[in-house]
Amino acid sequence: MTLSSISQQTWMIAGGVLFAALVGMGVYLRRRASMAARIERALKRKGA
């Protein structure tokens, strides 16, 4: 096993982890935004 193959594998793993983190954050933020919108709508309905 040469150094280049190890670093390539490390970069692939790091890239996968980063990608997964970005996707997870995007899904989380979108879900939070939709939940906030739902709560806002419910509050407006209660107030009206």
pLDDT tens for each residue of 5-33: 778 899 999 999 999 999 999 999 999 99
Asked if the structure places residue 28 within a domain, the reply is yes
Range of the domain at 31: 21-48
Residue 2 has pLDDT above 80, yes or no: no
Task: List Cα–Cα distances, 42 to 16, 26, 46, in angstroms.
Answer: 39, 24, 6
Indicate whether 13 belongs to any domain. Answer: no
Give the number of domains in the chain: 1
Q: Is residue 27 domain-resident?
A: yes
Residue 3 domain-assigned? no
- Residue 31 included in any domain: yes
How would DSSP label each residue in 5-36? Answer: HHHHHHHHHHHHHHHHHHHHHHHHHHHHHHHH
Entry pTM: 0.56
Does 38 map to a domain?
yes
Task: Let me know if residue 33 belongs to a domain.
Answer: yes
